[in-house]
Amino acid sequence: MNRCDFVNLTMDKAYYLEGLPVLLKSHPLSKSLRLRVDLQKKTPILTVPANCTPREIEKFLMGAVPWFRKQIAKEPKSESISNSGALSLPDSISFLGDPYRIVHKPALKKIEIHPNTQEIVIGRKQCNPQDLIKTHLIRRAFPYFENTSQNYANALNVKYAGIQLKDYRSRWGVCHRDKRLTYSWRLAMAPLEVLHYVCAHEISHLLHFNHSPDFWDVVASLMPDYKKQRLWLKNNGKALFEIF
């Protein structure tokens, strides 16, 4: 999990890859050059570690040309459209480990959530059902993030500045240097124990702003079986990013 945000990097020289301008970003934890591609914008994004020279960047980009050509040829992932013109939805969505079946009722004019039967009922004419379901999951999950973070903070006798849920695409949580905590809302679709682990992880950063042995000892004091939850994220996390 990244503890600090990526920052846009401005350099005296502009860099290009196959004629496309390269967006440079820095990150305090980066130890090597890393290239990725925003397929929606057809933009190469290069993460640059500290003290990296222009010559090293040029050499890296030259060697990345074959890989970049393959990546840029891929079609950006788009949301599927049903015959009715509405965004398609999965048959079910998990909330904190419990599967909720998605039920379509054409006459219904709003979205309804039925915890007792574990159903999410939507009308066929419902606009942006994905956004409505996402909003509902965030609203229901926020107290879990809040209560869990507070309980762990109390256990360590530390304080945080606030909590936010965001749609991160490659991380599960961030402990900022100003003690704000941000979590991926997608953890609402993971088992509750996994959410607890991520909260324990980020709260522990309030004592150790690193991943040293002392840091992991603190995490283990809050959640002795944290390795099991971390393994779940490693094996299943990708699927959570592919929903919606």
- pLDDT per position as a tens digit, 30-71: 677 888 887 777 788 888 887 888 888 888 888 888 888 888
Total residue length of the chain: 244
Which pLDDT value is given to residue 165? 93
Which pLDDT value is given to residue 224? 95
3-class DSSP assignment, residue 209: coil
Q: What is the pLDDT of residues 111-128, one digit of tens each?
A: 777 777 888 887 755 556
Which pLDDT value is given to residue 84? 39
Alpha carbon 101 to chain centroid distance? 24
Tell me the backbone φ, ψ of residue 238, rounded to 5 degrees: -60, -40
Q: Which residue has the higher pLDDT, 68 or 110?
A: 68
Taking each helix axis from N to C end, the angle separating 65-72 and 54-63, rounded to the nearest 10 degrees, works out to 60
Q: Which residue has the higher pLDDT, 85 or 170?
A: 170
Which pLDDT value is given to residue 76? 56
Q: Which domains does the chain have, with CATH numbers?
A: 7-72 (no CATH), 135-242 (3.30.2010.10)
pLDDT at 159 over 60: yes
Average pLDDT, the chain: 81
Distances (CA, A) of 5 to 1, 108, 170: 11, 42, 12
Which pLDDT value is given to residue 72? 77
Please report the DSSP string for 83-122 in residue order. TTSSBP--SEEEETTEEEEEEE-TT--S-EEETTTTEEEE
Mean pLDDT of 136-146: 89
Share of the chain above pLDDT 70, in %: 81
- Helices then strands, counting H and E runs in the chain, come out as 6, 13
Mean pLDDT of 73-79: 55
Q: Which residue has the higher pLDDT, 59 or 132?
A: 59
pLDDT band of residue 7 (cuts 50, 70, 90) is: very low
C-beta separation of 149 from 202 below 8 A: yes
pLDDT at 82 over 50: no
pLDDT band of residue 12 (cuts 50, 70, 90) is: low
C-beta separation of 42 from 20 below 8 A: yes
Which pLDDT value is given to residue 97? 80
- What is the C-alpha separation between 129 and 145, in angstroms, rounded? 24
pLDDT at 241 over 50: yes
Neighbours of 209 (CB within 10 A): 13
